[in-house]
Amino acid sequence: MSPDRVVIIGASTTGLFAAAAVAASDRSVVILERDELPSDAAPRPGVPQGRQPHVFLHRGVLAAEELLPGFRRDLLDVGAVPINTADLAWLGEQGWADRTSRSFEVLSTSRPLLEVTLRRRVTELPGVDVVGGRPVTRLAENARNWLVTTADGTEFKADLVIDASGRNSRLATWLGDKLSGPLRTTEIDARIGYATRMYRGDPLIGEIPGVVIASTPSTPTGGLAISIEGGHWLIMALGVGDDRPPRDPAGFEAFLGRLRDPALARLAQRLEPVGDVSLHRQTANRRRYYDEQNDWPNSVVVMGDAFCAFNPVYGQGIAVGAVEALLIREALDAGLKPGASRPLHRQFAKAVALPWAVATATDMQYPTCPQSPTRLGALQDNWVKQMEKLSVHGNARAAIALSSIYHLMAGPRTLLQPALIRAVLNGRIRGYGPANRRPAELQD
């Protein structure tokens, strides 16, 4: 089987990356999106976190460049801000990060600008059609292919269906008895919520491109400020459980004033607010184990948040979607065979393992999360804390190892380098030395 007609459900970033992967194999593809799609950089209902900060992790940028050569340049041309994450003023659980080392680059942009830039690039590809205002209501199999039906009754024939409809995917309902058994699902929800407001002006912090006051299990409130296109800044406040930031501007600013460092509150006072405060509280990590399904229907692929959704605060979803799209392209180039969807899902399972571990291990440390880390997970968390302690005391090797994992560029084994083990032992015996100081640019 060589699928010539591909239907993708969902025109968010994951669906668009999937379309780029399909188009590279000279196949026709139609993307069906429930929202009407704006022609400019505007938020839309199907992306409820669209007004919140977004960073395009380095692994995602590399994958996007493979799918769409020059896409990084496209984003820079429309105003995306390149940020080396080592340049951020970052206050973690153990102290301030070292800003003298180097790390990986992220691209900071508003979500609407990222999405419209990607959509324009994808619609320029031959054989790609993006159709907005067409919510999918049914998926049925006939003797030769799949029929994808939209709310207005239009049927689209497909040799391959890719579900990129997000965390609210209805695929399991549509397939019904075609599933080999109940779909196992795991959800880790620490009831994290955050609120964001856009600002403009000069924050008076020199060349620092952003400030992070990380929330921790002992101090669960936090936030960040980050520069985006057009000279604007996004300031976000984060909390858990019943102590989450409110929507009203006065309450939002008061919440910033309660953080363990005054940097974000002072930034908000120096900048001019643009628009209202936007809330987002749909932050559960949810893993659907489609890779465990036996006798999976031919030529149906699940990806992105429909397969595994992460707490958006960690910024992993867009990067993972791009990586999964690369796997789809490789499968199509190799000649997708009947039944090949299940092996592809197993590859997706490997791709999501690291970001899932990072997000859930962090969220399970909060008292608002009903699940607790396993004994092995607790040991791993403790070792990560040792790496963080080394980093805030000037160990560049520990800093780059942690950054490599955050950017999905390396696995957990990078934290077990002999030099790092020796550094932890020396630190416990002889002390860690002076800690990094609060950046001078943040001083009043």
Map 38-62 to HEC letters.
Answer: CCCCCCCCCCCCCCCCCEECHHHHH
pLDDT at 339 over 90: no
Q: What is the pLDDT of residue 1?
A: 47
pLDDT at 405 over 70: yes
Region 47-55: mean pLDDT is 90
113-122, 261-270, 373-382: least confidently modelled range? 373-382
pLDDT at 338 over 80: no
Region 169-195: mean pLDDT is 93
For β-strands 55-56 and 105-108, DSSP reports them as antiparallel
275-298 confidence digits (pLDDT tens): 999 999 999 999 999 999 988 888
**Torsions phi, psi for 302 (to 5 deg):** -115, 135
Superfamily, domain 5-54+110-187+284-359:
FAD/NAD(P)-binding domain (3.50.50.60)
pLDDT at 142 over 90: no
Q: Which CATH architecture has domain 192-280?
A: 2-Layer Sandwich (3.30)
The answer for 431, left when phi > 0, alpha when psi is -120 to 50, beta otherwise, is left
Euclidean distance between the first and the last CA atom of the chain, given in angstroms as a whole number: 66
Cα gap 79→114, rounded to integer Å: 10
75-120 confidence digits (pLDDT tens): 999 999 999 999 999 999 999 998 887 789 999 999 999 999 999 9
CB 407 within 8 A of CB 58: yes
Band (pLDDT 50/70/90 cuts) for residue 333 is confident
Band (pLDDT 50/70/90 cuts) for residue 2 is low
- Residue boundaries of the structural domains of the chain: 5-54+110-187+284-359, 192-280, 375-430
Full-model pTM: 0.95
Region 121-138: mean pLDDT is 96
pLDDT at 147 over 70: yes
53-85 confidence digits (pLDDT tens): 999 999 999 999 999 999 999 999 999 999 999
As a whole number, the mean pLDDT across the chain is: 93
State both tokens at 47.
């992306």
Region 260-276: mean pLDDT is 96
Band (pLDDT 50/70/90 cuts) for residue 441 is very high
pLDDT at 254 over 80: yes
Region 392-421: mean pLDDT is 94
Region 114-141: mean pLDDT is 96
